[in-house]
Structure 1
Amino acid sequence: MKKQQADFLGLSGEYHKVAEQKVLISKVVLDKMKEQGLTIPEVASSIESVDEEDIKHILMGQNYELDTLLRLTNHLSIEFNIE
């Protein structure tokens, strides 16, 4: 969502920060999948309790469950640094 739209709707700066973080996560996951030559169906079929729609939600920066993100990032060997 563009900042002007968010401002019009009265969304906070926190909303923007979360949205930006989701985009960054999406980019990292997609880049790692490309690097490993993996498709969404291939990844989904190799992770228990994760389906293609779950992965698409992460790649599109939509809402998703933390467990799903962690299963996906563990599978792709992506590490997070929390500060």
Structure 2
Amino acid sequence: SGVSCEFEENPCDSEPCLNGGECKGSQEFLHCECSTGYTGERCETKIDSCEPMPCYILGTESCEGESLSYHCKCLPGWEGNGIY
């Protein structure tokens, strides 16, 4: 850009990374370093620790997940610490 094309454009100037991701790049290359709990080319996807289902299917009522951990809620008659 510039009157005589003297300035190299940086793809990070448009702040393409989402959810607190940090942009690393030059004219030919762009890479987003995602914040904890996010993934994707532009950090657009929140990590769901319950996908795929980590709990024992037969004894589980539900799975509650955070970005880096999950808790399995057991059905009546089943037990376990539920924390992994």
TM-score of the aligned structures, taking structure 1 as reference length:
0.25
More strand by share: 2
Which structure has greater helix proportion? 1
- Greater Cα radius of gyration, structure 1 or 2: 2
